[in-house]
Structure 1
Amino acid sequence: MTFQTPSRRRRHLSAAALAVAAALALAGCATGGSADPGASSAATPVAGGTVTWGVSVEPVCYNPQRSGQQNSYPIIRNFAESLVGKDTSGEYTPWLAKSWTISDDETVYTFTLRDDVTFSDGTPLTASIVKENYDRFVAADSTLNARTGFVAYASSEATDDTTLVVTLKQPDAAFLDSVASIGAAILAPASLAASGDLCQPTADLVGTGPFTVADWKAGQEISFAKRADYDWAPGYAQHQGPAYLDTVTYRYLPEATVRSGALSAGQVDIIENVQVTDTSLFKDVDGFQYLTGPTTGTAFSLNINTRIAPANDVRVRQALRDGFDLDALIQGQYQGTVQRAYSSVGPDSPYFDKDLVGTWGNDVDGANKLLDEAGWTGRDSDGYRTKDGERLTIVVGYPEPYVRDERDVLLQGIKAKLKENIGLNLDVQIITGAAFSDALASQTWTVYPNTLPTADPSNLFRSIFTSSGFLYAKATDVTADLDALVAESRATIDPVARKKALDAVQASVVGDARYIPLYHPVYTVAAKSTVGGISFEPQLDSPASSYDIWIQP
């Protein structure tokens, strides 16, 4: 089957599957983000000029194949590209590959690459280079992020310079989503041969994107210059050819009020992660525009390690889940700008399980009963529950590089309510990225607050719920049922079968409270009205690169 001919794909589906597929396509159309109607006065693209972003987080790593930091992706996309793209309807589009076919048994993908793509160092893109990148993802010693999305990858063969034949071990419905991910971006041979992790944006980090790094000041900013020879934008792009902007700069401004102030004062042209209380400065205000992105990735959530006491007791986890009024906290902090979550998948995803809405949370009496049953019946002088002289404490280790959107403030609010309502001490600790990496390696992490930004839930679920993922690596003792369900969700492209398995995963992890979804985050962007072409990349749930952006002089 080919990606261009949905009718061929549909011949493999039942009538019921077709009905679900149609519903999924309609749901997918809602994922492109929204903006103030008519807010931008930049109606006609203009070539030239420069734009400065104010961004909330400095990337820890600029290597697309290693970065796990969602806020880094819009920056990295300026120089790093994937074989295929994904548009707002959920369809995969050409990018570095101009077409592809899938065998009837869904195990062989044949990609036809464009013949005009070059890396920024002048090296032509070939199928052999793509093969080398893909083989590295799955190498025995690989620590690259794409390895989990390529778990079905068996081998690939470059039959000529523009043809890559990929063979999978078994069908994998999420494989194209993995190919489209930023973790599967293609790096130049010079990068693959370089030593180290390539996390700094030096000359060794070479991609095919529309920009190259012009200047980088650690802790301050990074600037990009456009490539005049670029002409292979993804199929979902708003134009083709070189970028409109001559240069673009991303300034690292971690304080939300500083970003808003910089935009108001004209010191920057665009900001992301607009603070809730600053929305009124830009939304429906002359001279500015305000945009929100899609919500198809995971909720901001608490992933709870089921092997670490006292959270190894399901009653304790369920008490934590139900021991506070989540709706009130979300409404109070975010003032209606985000939705409280019930499921691990965002409501803009066609695989969102609506049946979970209203089924859990804010049951303080029930939570207290569960803790009594679990033996936490004592109280210490601070009012916390105890058992055998030990305080009921669950540690939350929140890696500092991933803190954004005032999520640490939300966790402190939850901590206060859990103490007041059920006597549980939620010990929220902001830790270093290195400390979290060590905890992952030793499997001693306790509670990990996070989101993941991919549109296909099979990839999400594999990463955080299965023994193939980064949280429960090789821990089949606590993931066996989920391993099977996630594998089932990937075993066919039939959307009916996929949704049944994915719904079961969502219900399971919320039911036993190993996963507590809190709210569905959306990226917010504000800009001068003279800036045009701002968009979101659906596969990432984040702002797109600056390729389509222009500014009126």
Structure 2
Amino acid sequence: MIHRSLPLLLALGTLALAGCDDASAPPTALGAPQAPAHGGVLKVAFDGDPLCIDPHQGGNNTALNVGRQLTDSLTDQHPETSEIVPWLAEHWEVSEDSRRFTFHLRGGVSFSDGTPVDGAAVKANFEAIQKLGALAQLSGTYLAGLKSIEVPAPLSVAIEFEQPNAQFLQASSTMSLGLFARATLEKTSEERCQGALVGSGPFVLDSFVHNQHVRLSQRADYAWPSSLARHQGRAWLDGIEFLVIPESGVRLGSLLSGQIDVNTSVAVQDEGILESRAIPFIARPNPGIVFNLAPNQSRAPLDQTAVRQALNKAIDRNELQGIISRHQKPASSVLASSTPFYRDDSQYLTHDPEGARQLLDGAGWQPGDDGIRVRDGQRLSFQVDYWQASTPVLELLQQQLRQVGVELRLNKTSISQVSAKNSERDYSLWFFNLTRADPDVLRTVFLASGRNVNQRDDTEVDHLLEESSRVLDPERRRELIEAASRLLIEEGHVLPLYEAATLTAFGQQVRGLHYEASTRLQFFDTWLAPR
């Protein structure tokens, strides 16, 4: 059957606009809207180092925000309806069993080194992702079960999987499966991380200096934007400079003084200042996995179900609302409410400190002299290594857990140090969220034979996750996702905390700024008006 687009059943959360009525036009207070114009370098502040800017490998938002500007995808996803629409592929066919996907590419597309974007290039990219192995953090999971890739015609490519793959069409819209030239694919993984990237996107990479900046310049001959783009031809901007500014106060001050144009990570304490100063901003809930703590079940005592369940019961998620952004809300499931097939599981996330104490008593953990529980001389104590601006949330969580006799030690450090520890599986509780506009994100993260953040053996939840990626009937897929989400919570494989939301503030001169479906920034339509 032929598909030019494929709607998902559940729309994502609506884009919230504050400070301006339309992200593509100036606020009413600025007078009549101006026509977009070419020119200018947009200065964008990140709160952390991208680490690896190759979207085939990277998984953090800063890296993927860079990668999106360098590479195009086979398809795109509408941020409000979740519909899959054409981009580099003009149309496609999906077999009845959802195992074979044939894409027909638009002609005249090239990488920035002049080589063509054709069926052979798609094949080379996906095979290169497979060769990256575990380094392909997200992209590798999207291609799990890949059987073969054929090029039946120069501008066609057929991708076949061993089993039905319900998530793949949405995956084809992500920057994680974006396309790069053979010159990039032939580089080492480290060279690619550091900037050896030749894509087909509207911008090209000029330089990347860790903990300082990433500089991009406009590609003058770009002419194949997504069907969701608001204009044709090249990007409006001459370039983009991403600046790494970890301190929230410095980012805010730089925005107010005009030293930067966009702050991609507005701190909760700065939201009131934005409103009082009438600074434009856009906010949007992130689909995917909520901010959570994932227990490493290869370490005692997190291998005990009762201990993990007690941690979940000890958390008062409603109390978090007082310190998180008004654009966020306490978790009611492992999936954010803006994710397709989300179901409210808040009944399994009820604050029950007495129930937590009973579980810990039954597991042999008794209060020590300082109130922290002890068993066989071991304290019930866990460390969380994190880099995000979430200290107030984790400090409140620390207080809540202490009330039932659990010690939570907080270690805020750099993203590179946290990533290194996580890669080495050197953690007790992993604090993270993961954005994706498809519920298959659960399989990506929790599958025991996959990324397996819990470091656990195969259980019933894995069979549910695997079947949900194969089943084609939407209602059956919904049932499987709902069952897997509930089991992840009930068995303590995940401790959901609060839903992520992205709040981006910008100067009055910035126009056309918007989020794509995964709540990451796409700068192709962005332009700078005269100050």
How big is the shift at 1:497? 0.7
After superposition, residues 225-244 of structure 1 pair within 5 angstroms as 225-244=217-236
Equivalent in the alignment of 1:68? 59
Contact 2:142–2:171 at 8 Å: present in 1 too?
yes
In the alignment, is residue 341 of structure 1 matched against residue 331 of structure 2? yes
Read off the aligned partner of 2:361 and give its amino acid letter. Answer: D
Q: What does 1:24-423 correspond to in 2, within 5 Å?
A: 24-25=9-10, 27-28=11-12, 30-38=13-21, 40-41=26-27, 44-88=35-79, 89-139=81-131, 141=133, 143-145=135-137, 146-202=139-195, 204-283=196-275, 285-286=277-278, 288-328=279-319, 330-334=320-324, 336-354=326-344, 356-380=345-369, 382-398=370-386, 403-404=387-388, 406-419=389-402, 421-423=403-405
CA apart distance, 1:248: 1.7
What is the Cα deviation at residue 493 of structure 1? 3.0
Give the aligned partner of residue 424 of structure 1: 406
Work out the CA distance in 1 between the residues paired with 2:146 and 2:276: 48
Q: Say if 1:390 and 1:180 are closer, same or farther in 2 by CA, change over 3 A.
A: same
Q: Percent identity?
A: 28
SS at the partner of 1:159?
strand
Q: 2:30 maps to what in 1?
A: none
Contact in 2 for aligned 1:57/1:72 (Cα 8 Å) = no
- Contact 1:82/1:185 (<8 A) preserved: yes
Task: Name the structure 1 match of 2:512.
Answer: 533
Question: 1: CA distance between counterparts of 2:346 and 2:76?
Answer: 32
How far has the Cα of 1:140 moved from its partner? 8.4
Give the superposition deviation at 1:5.
Answer: 6.4
Moved more, 428-437 or 185-194: 428-437
Q: Distance in 2 between matches of 1:108 and 1:158?
A: 13
Q: C-alpha deviations, 1:263-303, integer Å up to 9, x for none?
A: 111111111111112112223744x3111023311100011
Residues 140 and 190 of structure 1: is their aligned pair in 2 closer, same or farther, counting only changes over 3 Å? closer
Q: What is the one-letter code of the residue matched to 1:292?
A: A
Contact 2:74–2:178, Cα closer than 8 Å, also in 1 = yes
Question: In the alignment, which of 483, 487, 503 is matched to residue 524 of structure 1?
Answer: 503
C-alpha distance in 1 between matches for 2:136 and 2:189: 13
Q: Deviations over 1:127-166 (max 9, x none)?
A: 1111011122234856323111111311111122201011
RMSD over aligned Cα, in angstroms?
2.3
Contact 1:173 1:492 in 2 (8 A): yes
**What TM-score results when the alignment is normalised by the length of structure 1?**
0.89
Aligned-pair distance for 1:47?
2.1
Contact 2:48 2:211 in 1 (8 A): no
Verify the 8 A CA contact 2:5 2:83 in the aligned structure 1. Answer: no
**Aligned-partner Cα distance in 2 for 1:142–1:72:** 17
* Residue range with higher mean Cα deviation, 288-297 or 227-236: 288-297
- Partner of residue 513 from structure 1, selected from 492, 498, 515: 492
CA shift for structure 1 position 428: 2.7
Equivalent residues of 2:285, 2:327 under 8 A apart: no
Retained in 2: the 8 A contact 1:156–1:165?
A: yes
Contact 2:422 / 2:430 at 8 angstroms: preserved in 1? no
Shift of 1:200: 4.5
| Match of residue 3 from structure 2 | 3
1:70-112 C-alpha deviation (Å, 9 max, x unpaired) = 2221122111222111112111111121211111222111111
- What residue identity is the alignment partner of 2:372? Y
- The structure-2 alpha-carbon separation of the partners of 1:93 and 1:220, relative to structure 1 and needing over 3 Å to count, comes to same
Length, aligned pairs only: 520
The residue aligned with 1:17 is: none
Q: Report the CA distance between 1:175 and its aligned residue.
A: 0.7
- Equivalent position amino acid for 1:249 in 2: E
1:439-518 to structure 2, matched below 5 A, reads 443=425, 445-458=427-440, 460-472=441-453, 478-518=457-497
Stretches of structure 1 lacking an aligned partner (at least 5 in a row): 10-20
Is the Cα contact below 8 Å between 1:440 and 1:470 reproduced in 2? no
SS at match of 2:231: coil
By how many angstroms is 1:432 displaced? 6.1
Distance 1:194 1:140, change over 3 A: closer
* Residues 80 and 315 of structure 1, relative CA distance in 2, 3 Å threshold: same
C-alpha distance 166-175 of structure 1, shift in aligned 2 (>3 A): same
**What do the CA deviations read for 1:459-501 (whole angstroms, capped 9, x no partner)?**
x11122112322359x6x6333122101221223321011100
**Rounded Cα–Cα distance in structure 2 between residues aligned with 1:174 and 1:388:** 47
CA displacement at 1:194 relative to structure 2: 1.8
Q: TM-score, normalised by structure 2?
A: 0.92
Distance 1:436 1:532, change over 3 A: closer
Q: Find the residue that maps to 2:114 and give its secondary structure.
A: coil
* Aligned counterpart, 1:13: none
Report the more deviating stretch, 501-510 or 371-380. 371-380
Secondary structure at the counterpart of residue 92 of structure 2: strand
How many Å separate the matches in 2 of 1:209 and 1:425?
A: 48
For the residue of structure 1 that corresponds to 2:289, the secondary structure is coil
**Can you list the C-alpha shifts for 1:248-270, whole angstroms capped at 9, x where unaligned?**
21111111111111111111111
Change (3 A) 1:304 1:551: same
1:18 corresponds to: none
Distance 1:105 1:359, change over 3 A: closer
Residues in 1 aligned to 2:121 and 2:286: alpha-carbon distance in whole angstroms: 34
Alpha-carbon separation, structure 2, partners of 1:253 and 1:193: 33
- Kept in 1: contact 2:287–2:339 (CA 8 A): yes
**Cα distance, 1:434–1:47 mapped onto 2, change above 3 Å:** closer
Q: Distance in 2 between matches of 1:140 and 1:526?
A: 36
How far apart, in 1, do the equivalents of 2:232 and 2:194 lie? 26
- Report the AA paired with residue 283 of structure 2: T
Note closer, same or farther for the CA distance 1:433–1:153 as it changes in structure 2 (3 Å cut). Answer: same
